[in-house]
Structure 1
């Protein structure tokens, strides 16, 4: 009897593997990449006790642990086993993410994953596989974008390590990153990528400001630099979001009879204007802050395409919604706001 059941289960798995061969192959690739990283991590306590590691690295690791404690104790994020191990990337990228969009509509390509739901991006631990996927999408006529990722969250399913690339970040950016990813492990809603990313951005920025104020004081250079960085990014984000609305309005004027050469001319003319006008965005950050935090200036020689603008719609479109709800409905009481979000939106 048990032999028959085993054979039946095996047959089902074989059929599923053939039916969803690409999904199974992708899942195996991602699992292998994740396991390779986890296999080569070191416990944080072991790193801190190892005399071969420099004090500067140990200080950043200790700071990450402090940020994590703050996120759990003061912000009320869920307890997590993440960031208790360390992975040395040896200066190499660790993950690549691709996005794609229709050429004359701001509509993203969607990928469906079991349990997690629908995503408008796809991650790869193998660069060759990412490049092959980009080539396939381009053959379909889609705008594409590929970028390196500095961090990711397994949403609490696994314990995420500290990556060596974290340690190059200034304190404010580091705090924002850790709190952002811990937010994903606390609240992640299926099939609501835009909501999840905007919420994690909001909590990351709010939490970073509170952490810096508590540790360094609101008059400290660290706090003032972070505020200046946020002010610059907010102006930049608003500029890009205005650009997406301009592009969307343009695309809506296109008719089926509009020639492709006309569409392309108007599209790239509009995008070029968005890029050129970004030079007017003011920046009060210190030189050290600009050096440490990658500056989001658009490249006039390599114009972004629709996939770039889709990224902003995914990550930044709902920022004001969270701020207004937090201030007006909850009077700036973050713990009450987080409790409300947990009770209102079922998480994975």
Structure 2
């Protein structure tokens, strides 16, 4: 009887593996990437005690530790074992994110990942696999975009290390990044990617301002530079989101019989106008800071396609919702607001 049950279990597992082979194969690739990181990290204490590491790097590592303590003690994000080790990327990207979209609708290619839910992007540690997936989407008629990933959260399944590519960030950008990822580890709602990313962006920006004000003061250069950067990108985000409405309205006018050449002409004409008109957005950032964050803007020599706008909808569409709810219903009391969110939206 025991042998028969064992054979049945093995048969079921084999059947599931065949049925979900694409995700089993993808999961193995991601697991190898994660294992590579885990096996090559160093405890932060070793890095700080090693004289071969420059003081500038050690200063940023200590700053990350301060940010993490602030996020847990002051923002009441969940305690985490992350950012207690260090991983040197040696100048290479951590991983890549592939976003796909329909060519004439702002509708993302979605991936249903077992346990975690539906995502409008797919992460890759393996660049060859990334490029094959990108080529396949394009052959299927989708717009695509590849972004390098600066950091990621495993939602508490693993302990994320401090990554060497984080350490070139300004104080405010670093605080925002760490608090963003710790928010994912505190609250992550299944099948609600847009909600999760918008919430983490909101908390990351709010938390970064509070941290900078507490550590440096509101008249300090780090605080004022970050605030100016945040305000600039709020204006830029609003501009791009308005652009998504313009594109959506255009695409709704397309009929099945509309020639592809006409669709493409109108599409790229509209996108070119959205990008070029962004020059009118006021910018009070200090020039050195502006240069550090300018990579977020579109490259005008290579016009962004629908996948670029999908990324903005995923990360920025609900920012005003969170701000208004936080201020009007909770009077700016972040602890009460976070408690409400955790009780209202069960996390994985």
Residue 296 of structure 2 aligns to a residue in which SS? coil
Residue 278 of structure 2 aligns to a residue in which SS? helix
Q: Work out the CA distance in 2 between the residues paired with 1:73 and 1:94.
A: 29
**Which residue does the alignment assign to 1:110?**
110
Residue 294 of structure 1 aligns to a residue in which SS? helix
**Which residue does the alignment assign to 1:296?**
296
**Which residue does the alignment assign to 1:44?**
44
**Which residue does the alignment assign to 1:321?**
321
Residue 190 of structure 1 aligns to a residue in which SS? coil
Q: Work out the CA distance in 2 between the residues paired with 1:51 and 1:319.
A: 43
* 1:180–1:201 CA contact under 8 A, matched in 2: yes
Q: Work out the CA distance in 2 between the residues paired with 1:296 and 1:72.
A: 29
Q: Work out the CA distance in 2 between the residues paired with 1:3 and 1:92.
A: 49
CA drift of 1:2 comes to 3.3
Q: Work out the CA distance in 2 between the residues paired with 1:305 and 1:115.
A: 31
**Which residue does the alignment assign to 2:277?**
277
CA drift of 1:3 comes to 3.1
Is 265-274 or 276-285 further displaced after alignment? 276-285
CA drift of 1:287 comes to 1.8
TM-score, normalisation: structure 2: 0.98
Question: 2:226 matched to 1:229?
Answer: no
**Which residue does the alignment assign to 1:330?**
330
Q: Work out the CA distance in 2 between the residues paired with 1:11 and 1:211.
A: 54
CA drift of 1:284 comes to 1.0
**Which residue does the alignment assign to 1:171?**
171
Residue correspondence of structure 1 range 186-201 to structure 2 within 5 A: 186-201=186-201
Residue correspondence of structure 1 range 112-261 to structure 2 within 5 A: 112-261=112-261
Residue 48 of structure 2 aligns to a residue in which SS? helix
**Which residue does the alignment assign to 1:31?**
31
**Which residue does the alignment assign to 2:11?**
11
CA drift of 1:62 comes to 0.6
- 4+ runs of 1 displaced by more than 6 Å? none
* 1:153–1:181 CA contact under 8 A, matched in 2: yes
* 1:103–1:141 CA contact under 8 A, matched in 2: yes
Q: Work out the CA distance in 2 between the residues paired with 1:143 and 1:24.
A: 26
RMSD over aligned Cα atoms: 0.9
CA drift of 1:290 comes to 1.8
* 1:278–1:297 CA contact under 8 A, matched in 2: no
**Which residue does the alignment assign to 1:83?**
83
Q: Spell out, residue by residue over 1:42-97, the C-alpha distance to the aligned partner (whole angstroms, 9 max, x if none).
A: 11111111111111111111100000000000000000000001000000111000
Q: Work out the CA distance in 1 between the residues paired with 2:346 and 2:266.
A: 43
Is 245-254 or 43-52 further displaced after alignment? 43-52
